[in-house]
Amino acid sequence: MASVVEIREVTVAFGGLRALRGVDLDIAQGERLAVIGPNGAGKTTLFNVIAGDIAPTTGTVVIRGQDCTRRPSRHRPRLGLARTYQKARAFAGLTVRENIYLALAGHRGRHRALWRTPADRAMGDEAADVADRVWLSGQLDELAGELAHGQRRQLELAMAIATRPDVMLLDEPASGLSRGERERLVELLESFDDRLTLLLIEHDMDVAFRIAQRVVVMADGEQVMAGTPDEVRADPHVHRIYLGTEAA
């Protein structure tokens, strides 16, 4: 079966620093994959490469059979890909509804009208539905810049799920959430359609291991090991480089 995302020999160098050193990764459709690893391991950089925010220094990125190595990020939504950012970066000066609306409008490529159209109103209503799914209906008309931290993460998630992507990349969706919020997040992630391909970076092992079918462990820009949650949990090597670092 063809992979949805194929990463081949990807390296990323920031000046002298090599954030990724020859990463290979194949992600099948409908797979739930968690990427874990200590700070600075290159997890976010890997996401940036897949999402087109950074072009790899060497190597190739193929998404749904199309070579996307040098294609800028704005072509990704049309390929059915959506992402969240580790540091929530919703549009501070716009409301929750408007933020989600923009996610919808960007995906549908209709965003140059100089007046409000029925389609805009429909997208506004759709945005309200999406906000409801991430428990933000009470904040629809609040400015994103004025949301509490947890709500900002929820908005980040809303903007990713709004377009019903086929491939979703979530960068530490649980960070900074309360226990209750984490529980709700896991429930939401478990409710996704089976066909959705989900890549998850997560420091919270509990969340990562409950969602993932496969876990990739990264350290120093390289994949250290990969396996089922149980295999990874049992691996002493992982304990040393990752869980050890966490404890430190």
Partner 1 sequence: MNLRARLTGEPLALAGLVLFLILLPSLATAFFVNFVMTQTLILGLAAATIVFLSRYGGMTSLAQLLMFGIAGFMFGNAALDGGARGLNLGWHPWAAVGFAIVVTTLAAVVLGAIASRTTGIYFLMLTLVYGVIGYFVFAQIVEISGPGGITSIQRPDLLGPPVRLYYAGLLLSVLAYVGFRALRRTAFGLALQGVRDDPVRMASLGFNVPLHRTLAFVLAGFVAGLAGLLNVWWNGQIDPASISIGPTLILLIIAVIGGISSLEGAWLGAFVYVLVFTYLRDLPLVDRIGITEARFNTVIGVIVLAIMVLSPEGLTGIARRLPVRTIRKELGGTRA
Ligand X SMILES: Nc1ncnc2c1ncn2[C@@H]1O[C@H](COP(=O)(O)OP(=O)(O)OP(=O)(O)O)[C@@H](O)[C@H]1O
Q: Which residues contact partner 1 by CB under 8 A?
A: 51-53, 72-78, 83, 85, 89-94, 98, 101-103, 105-107, 109-117, 120, 141, 159
CB of 124 to partner 1, least distance (A): 10
Name the residue with tokens 């226990």: 179
Cβ burial of 244 (10 Å; 0-12, 13-18, 19+) is: exposed
The partner in contact with residue 42, picked from ligand X, partner 1, Mg ion, none with C-beta cut-offs of 5 to 8 angstroms by kind, is ligand X
Task: State the Cα–Cα distance between residues 148 and 151, nearest whole angstrom.
Answer: 5
Tokens at 119, concatenated: 């389609």
Question: What is the distance between the alpha carbons of residues 98 and 152, in angstroms, rounded to a whole number?
Answer: 14
- Tell which one of 23, 44, 134, 211 touches Mg ion (CB under 5 A): 44
Does 57 bind Mg ion (CB under 5 A)? Our answer is no
Q: Which stretch binds Mg ion (CB under 5 A): 11-19, 37-45, 131-139, 153-161?
A: 37-45
Sign of the CA dihedral running 150, 152, 156, 157: positive
Q: Which of 11, 60, 86, 175 binds Mg ion (CB under 5 A)?
A: 86
Q: What is the DSSP letter of 242?
A: I
Q: CB-wise, 142 or 204, nearer to ligand X?
A: 204
Q: State whether residue 64 is helix, strand or coil.
A: coil
CB of 115 to partner 1, least distance (A): 6
Residues that bind Mg ion (CB under 5 A): 44, 86
